[in-house]
Amino acid sequence: MIPSPHVNAFLHRIENDETIELAPVAIIGRSAECQVQLSDPRVSRRHAMIRKQDGGFYLFDLGSFNGSYLNGARLTATRQLRHGDVLSFADHEFHYQETGDAPSVQNTEDIGGSTIALIRSTPVVLLVSDIKGFTALSEKLEADELAQVIGGWYSDCEQILSEEGSTLDKFIGDCVLAYWTTVNAETLHAALRSARRLLDSCEKIYESRPDVFAKTDRRFEVGVALHVGKVAYGGMSQGEFTLVGDPVNLTFRLESLTRELGKNVLLSGDFVKELPGIRRHCANHGVRRVKGRARGVEVFAVESFP
């Protein structure tokens, strides 16, 4: 069952009969900043996350030491929650609940087979980041180890992108999409800081688990792409607020070039045009063709951060 646009989601805490309405992003953990706080030394400071995306609510483990459990099984990958699911963190048990009815949708326009409500069109700053060598990591690590690594990365992405003022659109497996709805020097620099901090996060995760990464014979790295373009954005028919347009696809394609070029952070020519001073920190790789697009894109690799 996919939640309707105005479905509310709740966690019912069994031990004290408390019911907690979930925000679009709810962190579960020991820290006072968490929406669902569990004062238990067996629970990590940022243990797990429930996030609304793609029309549903999804459970992520954030690299916790003791793991998160869904219906009695340890979570080793992101899972969409269903009404009645049982979530466990240490000995703390919650029932996941949904309430609400789908309203009628008005003022809609059919675009590419998907119905989108309240469409707006605006220039945005786009960021896509993807874990390099994810297939190799999956093959060489145990499921629990992989879940801890990916969960730690999810947690850092959420924190970094929130602190830099972006909207985190969604996680897609080992990839994240975020955007800023204003294009100016402040948001362009925020996007660059986000890219630098995501790279620093990889170093932190790698150094924190030498036992795990010794099995892979590789470092933990991500590729990051930054682009500026005009997109349509609004509420999808399932209730998800997201982006539509060629700039979104182009940013994903640009990120895939990080492997081909052996670079960690790539900028589009449109991004550089909006922030000319960044040129002296970049190497120009010329116009590159990307899959599924007739026109090429001018590509710059960040060699240093301003």
pLDDT confidence tier of residue 77, bands split at 50, 70 and 90:
confident
Q: What torsion, rounded to 10 degrees, do the Cα atoms 161, 166, 167, 171 define?
A: -30
Q: Are strands 114-131 and 108-111 parallel, antiparallel or unpaired?
A: antiparallel
Q: What torsion, rounded to 10 degrees, do the Cα atoms 201, 77, 129, 138 define?
A: 80
Residue-averaged pLDDT of the chain: 85
Phi and psi, residue 70, nearest 5°: -120, 115
Radius of gyration (Cα) for the chain, nearest Å?
20
Out of 74-83, 249-258, 279-288, which region has the weakest mean confidence (pLDDT)? 74-83
Q: What is the pLDDT of residue 119?
A: 58
d(CA 264, CA 270): 18
Mean pLDDT, range 113-118, rounded to an integer: 46
Q: Are strands 175-180 and 114-131 parallel, antiparallel or unpaired?
A: antiparallel
Q: Is the pLDDT of residue 111 over 50?
A: no
Nearest CA among 218, 86, 220, 80 for reference residue 148: 220
Over residues 263-277, the pLDDT tens digits come to 999 999 999 999 999
Q: What is the pLDDT of residue 203?
A: 94
Mean pLDDT, range 46-67, rounded to an integer: 86
Residue in this structure with the two tokens 């945005």, named with its chain if needed: 124
Percent helix / strand / coil, the chain, rounded to 5: 25, 40, 35
Over residues 7-38, the pLDDT tens digits come to 689 999 999 999 999 988 889 999 888 889 99
Beta strands in the chain (DSSP E): 8-13, 18-21, 25-29, 36-37, 48-53, 56-61, 69-70, 73-74, 79-80, 86-89, 92-99, 108-111, 114-131, 167-172, 175-180, 222-236, 241-244, 265-268, 282-288, 297-302
Over residues 210-248, the pLDDT tens digits come to 888 888 888 899 999 999 999 986 654 444 556 778 899
Per the model's pLDDT, the better-predicted residue between 13 and 76 turns out to be 13
Cβ count within 10 A of residue 4 = 15
Measure Cα distances from 17 to 12, 27, 92, 94, 119 in Å.
Answer: 7, 19, 12, 9, 41
Q: Are strands 92-99 and 86-89 parallel, antiparallel or unpaired?
A: antiparallel
Q: What is the pLDDT of residue 292?
A: 72
Burial of residue 248 (CB within 10 Å: 0-12, 13-18, 19+) is: buried
Out of 31-40, 54-63, 96-105, 267-276, which region has the weakest mean confidence (pLDDT)? 96-105
Highest mean pLDDT among 134-148, 161-175, 243-257, 260-274: 260-274
Total residue length of the chain? 306
Q: What is the pLDDT of residue 118?
A: 52
Structure tokens at 9: 């989601």
